[in-house]
A and B are shown apart, each in its own frame.
Chain A
Amino acid sequence: MEPLDLELEEGELELPSEPMHLNMGPAHPAMHGTVRCVLELSGETIVKADVQIGYLHRGFEKMCERGTWAQVFPYADRLNYVSPMLNNVGYALAVEKLCGIEVPERCQWYRMALGELARISDHLTCTGAMAMELGAFTPFLWFVKARDMIWDILEEETGARLTHSFGRIGGMAAPPTAAFKELCKGSLPQVLHLMEEGEAMLLKNRIFLDRLEGVGTISGADAVALSWTGPCLRASGIPYDVRRVYPYLKYDEVDFDVPVGKNGDNLDRFLVRLQELRQSMRIIAQVLDRMADDGPVNAYAPGVMLPEKHDVYTTIEATIQHFKLVMEGAKVPKGEVYSYTEGGNGELGFYLVSDGSGTPYRVRIRPPCYPITGGLQKLITGAMLSDIIPTFGSLNMIGGECDH
């Protein structure tokens, strides 16, 4: 005799259940402390999801309207606090575009080198944290050790490990130190070695791969429609990289590949970041070859740049100039500008409006991970509860940037 339930559809075998509501975050360790997901579950499947942000909102844009143009740099540091140098450079380029200043070649190479170092630290943090959230604690330590070497270089250059405030309108706070090239050449092979060790531990781990592969898949067209950029978009197969498509600084003069994924799942996002690390190292090697050892770093822009300290102490003109620049701020020409660079997570844009005074009229940041986090709801609806962790980890949401 045949069993009775053969004729039944599979769905009819499930017991009817009330939907369950679950709050995930903002204090959940995998939510980075800044995101709350309100979920409606049927069993372990997510039926509805509402992603809520804003727990780290600090009024960045409002604060910028109260100081001078130069006083935005420390705030910009705290947007993406994993790669502050990229924000610094991005903001400096935006103001320079509005002022019509071009910084000397040496500064452009220097900004590229520091920016790529910051990108390495950003990607190392993201991939390491993602592995840790899936239970692989050791590779996280490998990656953080590698990141610390990057921070050692940045500390040597800027004096701070995390919030450098090193950018200036029309240049950098200081020229490269004498040891900069040596430090990079010494550390980067070690960073690569550590990264490869960590990578080898993860990419042969069946549990790790199973939780990434085919989870959180998004097609290229959908990703573009959701305004995704950066590694997350490239993992879906769209080779859009601001450094390649709209080159700034000297990115058109260096050789690098834009790694793309195929499936747009978590594994692809993970692998794209690992490949980008290697490309960043390739860029840094070329930059070190081509950056001159001496020459000016700051542009000649007396209305914007602070005068030399020596002149400030010895001449009245420089003293007055210094005083006016500090008290009133650099006068940026009236107008509006949108300038964009490739940040750690994608297109980092600054839309600036100036009314011609020393204070910004409006500083609008386009944080790359804001629209990416906006797409999280789409990725996790219909998935399993435990898929949120790797999916959210692979998006690399940075609270400071996303919540402004």
Chain B
Amino acid sequence: MSKAALEKLQATFGDAILETHSDCGDDTALVKAESWKPICEFLRKDPQLDFDYLVDLCGVDYPERAAQKQRIEVVLHLCSIGKRHRLRLKARVGSGEDEELEGAEIDSVTSIWPGANWFERETYDMLGVTFRGHPDMRRILMYPEFVGHPLLKTYPAQRTQPLVAYRTEEEAGVPLEKQAPFGDDEGLAFPRNDHDRDAEDPRTKLNPHKTEAI
């Protein structure tokens, strides 16, 4: 690891670098979220630093920091294959109680390292951080109908997700009698009562058209 990278960052960006440490030998810089992209561009382009390899990008949720608008910590690990040094870059974004995140947005670095694409999608999927300028901000590990972001500390581990509703006739373009042959009980042999609390959610209302058709 290289202390030089940290010193150079501090000399160049000054106030934008909030904190640095080298615990366990990992050089770390906490930076302002607004300067996230300029700093990344600098790290990539500077000939002495030359961080050409994005190792990892992930997020950590700290609900107790929500009041300071620093709830989600976006963590970026960088490495330079030629220069053989590494750096960890962090920025804190977002506020909000429970699962309603507000302002959890940060610039995407996919234009600097194309490999960030899937890592940013995963961070969005798991923690709800939106990356501005990302070409394809979709969920990646979860399905599109998933409600919430599972790696938030406020997401209960035992929560059951609402069942995915049938597609309507218009949406699927298939007549109802040709769609999946399950009734309101989703084809289960026993009734599932776990979803009562999500009763308001229109998506849990299973296939209103089906009964009409029959």
**Distance between Cα atoms of A338 and B77 in the complex (Å):** 9
Extra pairs beyond A61-B126, A225-B113, A347-B55 (5, CB < 8 Å): A53-B140, A54-B142, A62-B150, A349-B56, A364-B60
Contact B88 A57 (CB under 8 A): no
**Distance between Cα atoms of A229 and B150 in the complex (Å):** 28
Q: Which of B98-106, B115-123, B171-179 contacts A (4 or more CB under 8 A)?
A: B115-123
**Looking at the complex, which one of A61, A63, A362, A374 makes contact with B117 (CB distance below 8 Å)?**
A374
Contact A335 B24 (CB under 8 A): yes
Contacts of A371 in B (CB 8 A): 115, 118-119
Contacts of A65 in B (CB 8 A): 157
Q: 8 Å CB contacts to A: which residues of B26-82?
A: 26, 28, 52-56, 58, 60, 75, 77, 81
Interface string of A345-371 (1 = CB under 8 A from B): 001010101000000011010100011
A33 to chain B, nearest CB (A): 16
A interface residues, Cβ below 8 angstroms from B? 52-54, 57, 59, 61-63, 65-66, 97-98, 100, 224-228, 238, 240, 245-246, 335-338, 340, 347, 349, 351, 353, 361-362, 364, 366, 370-371, 373-375, 403-404
Contact B115 A336 (CB under 8 A): no
Q: Which of A226, A227, A404 has the most CB of B within 10 A?
A: A227
Contact A351 B141 (CB under 8 A): no
Instruction: Tell yes or no: B209 within 8 A of A by CB.
Output: no
Measured CB to CB, the nearest residue on chain B to A98 is B24
Contacts of B126 in A (CB 8 A): 61
Contact A351 B77 (CB under 8 A): yes
Contact B58 A364 (CB under 8 A): yes
Contact B23 A224 (CB under 8 A): no
With contact pairs A66-B157, A337-B26, A371-B118 given, residues A404 and B56 touching in the complex (Cβ less than 8 Å): no
**Distance between Cα atoms of A187 and B119 in the complex (Å):** 40
Interface string of B119-139 (1 = CB under 8 A from A): 100100010000000000001
Q: Chain B contact residues (Cβ within 8 angstroms of A): what range?
A: 35 or more
Contact B60 A362 (CB under 8 A): yes
Measured CB to CB, the nearest residue on chain B to A222 is B114
**Looking at the complex, which one of B115, B119, B143, B150 makes contact with A225 (CB distance below 8 Å)?**
B115
Instruction: Tell yes or no: B151 within 8 A of A by CB.
Output: yes
Q: Which of B53, B88, B113 has the most CB of A within 10 A?
A: B53
Measured CB to CB, the nearest residue on chain B to A366 is B56
Contacts of B75 in A (CB 8 A): 351, 364
Contacts of A364 in B (CB 8 A): 56, 58, 60, 75
Instruction: Tell yes or no: B84 within 8 A of A by CB.
Output: yes
Contacts of B113 in A (CB 8 A): 225, 227
Q: Which of B56, B140, B155 has the most CB of A within 10 A?
A: B56
Contact A351 B150 (CB under 8 A): no
B154 to chain A, nearest CB (A): 12
A372 to chain B, nearest CB (A): 10
**Distance between Cα atoms of A87 and B26 in the complex (Å):** 21
13 A-B pairs in the complex with CB atoms less than 8 angstroms apart: A54-B141, A61-B151, A63-B157, A226-B114, A337-B23, A337-B24, A338-B77, A347-B55, A366-B58, A366-B77, A371-B115, A371-B118, A373-B118
Contact B52 A225 (CB under 8 A): yes
Measured CB to CB, the nearest residue on chain A to B142 is A54
Contacts of A54 in B (CB 8 A): 139-143
Contacts of B118 in A (CB 8 A): 370-371, 373-374
Contact A53 B150 (CB under 8 A): no
**Distance between Cα atoms of A353 and B60 in the complex (Å):** 9
Contact A227 B140 (CB under 8 A): no
**Looking at the complex, which one of B28, B55, B139 makes contact with A227 (CB distance below 8 Å)?**
B55
Contacts of B115 in A (CB 8 A): 225-228, 371, 374-375
**Distance between Cα atoms of A370 and B84 in the complex (Å):** 22
Contacts of A245 in B (CB 8 A): 81, 84
Contacts of A97 in B (CB 8 A): 24-25
**Distance between Cα atoms of A225 and B110 in the complex (Å):** 10
Q: Which 8 A-B pairs have the closest CB atoms?
A: A227-B115, A374-B118, A54-B141, A366-B56, A226-B115, A57-B141, A337-B24, A364-B58
**Distance between Cα atoms of A247 and B122 in the complex (Å):** 29
Measured CB to CB, the nearest residue on chain B to A56 is B141
**Looking at the complex, which one of B25, B81, B122 makes contact with A238 (CB distance below 8 Å)?**
B81
With contact pairs A53-B140, A404-B141 given, residues A351 and B114 touching in the complex (Cβ less than 8 Å): no
